Amino acid sequence: MNASRTIAGRPVRTGDAVARATVDLVVATLDPSPHLESEEVRAELELAIPTLSLLASGGHFERHGVVLAAADLRLTIAVPVGERALAATENDSAPRGAATATEWTLHLPAPDGLATLVERTAAACPHISTDAAPASSDTSVRSAAAVDLSRLANRSNR
Protein backbone atom coordinates (compact mmCIF):
# COMPACT_ATOMS: atom_id res chain seq x y z
CA MET A 1 0.00 0.00 0.00
CA ASN A 2 1.39 3.38 -0.99
CA ALA A 3 0.55 6.29 1.30
CA SER A 4 1.68 9.86 1.63
CA ARG A 5 1.57 12.38 4.42
CA THR A 6 2.37 16.08 4.59
CA ILE A 7 4.04 17.97 7.41
CA ALA A 8 4.38 21.72 6.77
CA GLY A 9 7.94 23.00 6.98
CA ARG A 10 9.28 26.49 7.49
CA PRO A 11 7.90 29.06 8.18
CA VAL A 12 5.04 27.02 9.70
CA ARG A 13 7.39 24.71 11.63
CA THR A 14 11.10 24.80 12.36
CA GLY A 15 13.37 22.03 11.10
CA ASP A 16 13.51 20.59 14.61
CA ALA A 17 9.70 20.58 14.89
CA VAL A 18 9.45 18.83 11.51
CA ALA A 19 12.04 16.26 12.58
CA ARG A 20 10.15 15.50 15.79
CA ALA A 21 6.82 15.30 13.92
CA THR A 22 8.45 12.90 11.44
CA VAL A 23 9.72 10.71 14.28
CA ASP A 24 6.27 10.74 15.90
CA LEU A 25 4.62 9.77 12.59
CA VAL A 26 7.03 6.89 11.94
CA VAL A 27 6.67 5.58 15.50
CA ALA A 28 2.85 5.79 15.33
CA THR A 29 2.85 4.06 11.94
CA LEU A 30 4.98 1.15 13.19
CA ASP A 31 3.28 0.91 16.61
CA PRO A 32 0.54 -1.56 15.53
CA SER A 33 3.15 -4.19 14.73
CA PRO A 34 3.61 -6.68 17.56
CA HIS A 35 7.07 -7.43 16.15
CA LEU A 36 8.48 -3.95 16.72
CA GLU A 37 9.03 -2.06 19.97
CA SER A 38 7.97 1.58 19.78
CA GLU A 39 10.58 2.59 22.34
CA GLU A 40 13.37 1.08 20.25
CA VAL A 41 12.10 2.71 17.05
CA ARG A 42 11.88 6.09 18.81
CA ALA A 43 15.32 5.75 20.43
CA GLU A 44 16.96 5.04 17.08
CA LEU A 45 15.14 7.84 15.27
CA GLU A 46 15.92 10.37 17.99
CA LEU A 47 19.59 9.88 17.14
CA ALA A 48 18.72 11.11 13.66
CA ILE A 49 16.85 14.28 14.72
CA PRO A 50 19.76 16.66 13.94
CA THR A 51 20.07 15.24 10.43
CA LEU A 52 16.31 15.18 9.87
CA SER A 53 16.15 18.79 11.07
CA LEU A 54 18.82 19.97 8.63
CA LEU A 55 17.24 18.10 5.72
CA ALA A 56 13.80 19.54 6.53
CA SER A 57 15.17 23.07 6.99
CA GLY A 58 16.96 22.85 3.64
CA GLY A 59 13.79 21.86 1.82
CA HIS A 60 15.13 18.42 0.90
CA PHE A 61 11.99 16.61 2.03
CA GLU A 62 9.92 18.79 -0.27
CA ARG A 63 11.81 17.69 -3.36
CA HIS A 64 12.61 14.09 -2.47
CA GLY A 65 10.48 13.24 0.56
CA VAL A 66 11.47 10.82 3.22
CA VAL A 67 10.16 7.28 2.69
CA LEU A 68 9.27 4.65 5.28
CA ALA A 69 9.20 1.12 3.90
CA ALA A 70 7.68 -1.46 6.25
CA ALA A 71 5.83 -4.66 5.34
CA ASP A 72 3.24 -3.77 2.69
CA LEU A 73 3.52 -0.05 3.35
CA ARG A 74 5.48 2.59 1.45
CA LEU A 75 4.89 5.89 3.21
CA THR A 76 6.21 9.09 1.62
CA ILE A 77 6.44 12.05 3.97
CA ALA A 78 6.58 15.36 2.11
CA VAL A 79 7.59 18.62 3.79
CA PRO A 80 6.67 21.68 1.74
CA VAL A 81 8.46 24.92 2.61
CA GLY A 82 7.85 28.61 1.98
CA GLU A 83 4.56 29.58 0.35
CA ARG A 84 3.71 25.91 -0.26
CA ALA A 85 4.02 25.27 3.49
CA LEU A 86 1.67 28.16 4.23
CA ALA A 87 -0.91 26.72 1.82
CA ALA A 88 -0.37 23.04 2.71
CA THR A 89 -3.01 20.88 4.29
CA GLU A 90 -1.19 18.82 6.86
CA ASN A 91 -1.94 15.16 7.25
CA ASP A 92 0.23 13.60 9.90
CA SER A 93 -2.03 10.72 10.91
CA ALA A 94 -0.50 7.27 10.91
CA PRO A 95 -1.49 5.21 7.86
CA ARG A 96 -2.38 1.55 8.07
CA GLY A 97 -0.27 -1.11 6.42
CA ALA A 98 2.61 -1.75 8.81
CA ALA A 99 0.79 -3.99 11.31
CA THR A 100 2.66 -7.08 10.10
CA ALA A 101 6.05 -5.39 9.81
CA THR A 102 9.02 -7.24 11.21
CA GLU A 103 11.52 -4.83 9.64
CA TRP A 104 11.47 -1.22 8.54
CA THR A 105 13.69 1.23 6.74
CA LEU A 106 13.55 5.01 6.63
CA HIS A 107 15.04 6.20 3.33
CA LEU A 108 16.63 9.66 3.46
CA PRO A 109 17.91 11.78 0.60
CA ALA A 110 21.64 12.54 0.71
CA PRO A 111 22.00 15.87 -1.09
CA ASP A 112 25.31 17.50 -1.87
CA GLY A 113 26.61 19.32 1.18
CA LEU A 114 24.79 17.04 3.60
CA ALA A 115 25.65 13.65 2.09
CA THR A 116 28.43 12.91 4.59
CA LEU A 117 26.19 13.76 7.54
CA VAL A 118 23.32 11.64 6.19
CA GLU A 119 25.67 8.73 5.51
CA ARG A 120 27.06 8.94 9.06
CA THR A 121 23.52 8.95 10.42
CA ALA A 122 22.66 5.89 8.33
CA ALA A 123 25.80 4.14 9.60
CA ALA A 124 24.80 4.85 13.22
CA CYS A 125 21.12 3.93 12.75
CA PRO A 126 20.57 0.45 11.28
CA HIS A 127 17.07 1.26 10.01
CA ILE A 128 18.02 4.44 8.15
CA SER A 129 19.27 4.21 4.60
CA THR A 130 20.55 6.51 1.89
CA ASP A 131 19.61 3.94 -0.75
CA ALA A 132 16.80 4.79 -3.11
CA ALA A 133 13.43 3.91 -1.65
CA PRO A 134 11.47 1.07 -3.25
CA ALA A 135 9.33 2.26 -6.12
CA SER A 136 6.17 0.72 -4.67
CA SER A 137 4.89 -1.24 -1.73
CA ASP A 138 4.56 -4.42 -3.78
CA THR A 139 6.59 -6.82 -1.65
CA SER A 140 5.72 -9.82 -3.81
CA VAL A 141 7.98 -8.50 -6.58
CA ARG A 142 10.88 -7.99 -4.19
CA SER A 143 10.32 -11.39 -2.54
CA ALA A 144 10.19 -13.21 -5.86
CA ALA A 145 13.38 -11.54 -6.99
CA ALA A 146 15.12 -12.53 -3.76
CA VAL A 147 14.10 -16.18 -4.20
CA ASP A 148 15.30 -16.24 -7.79
CA LEU A 149 18.62 -14.66 -6.85
CA SER A 150 19.20 -17.12 -4.02
CA ARG A 151 18.43 -20.04 -6.34
CA LEU A 152 20.86 -18.69 -8.89
CA ALA A 153 23.50 -18.22 -6.20
CA ASN A 154 23.04 -21.78 -4.93
CA ARG A 155 23.35 -23.22 -8.42
CA SER A 156 26.48 -21.23 -9.17
CA ASN A 157 28.20 -22.68 -6.08
CA ARG A 158 27.81 -26.28 -7.25
Give SS3 for 5: strand
- Range list of H helices, 1-105: 15-30, 38-47, 49-57, 60-63, 83-87
Burial of 150 (0-12, 13-18, 19+ CB in 10 A): exposed
Residue 141, pLDDT > 50, answer no
Q: How far apart are CA 14 and CA 99, in angstroms?
A: 31
Amino acid present at 120 = R
- Check residue 91 and report its DSSP letter: B
Domain span at residue 90 reads: 2-156
pLDDT tens per residue, range 69-122? 999 999 999 999 999 999 999 998 999 999 999 999 999 999 999 999 999 999
Q: Please state the domain count of the chain.
A: 1
pLDDT (tens digit per residue) in 125-134: 999 999 998 8
pLDDT digits (tens, 9 = 90+) for 10-68: 999 999 999 999 999 999 999 999 999 999 999 999 999 999 999 999 999 997 789 99
Phi, psi (deg, nearest 5) at residue 20 = -65, -35
DSSP, res 54: H
What does pTM read for this prediction? 0.84
Residue 134's nearest CA partner among 73, 91, 92 is 73
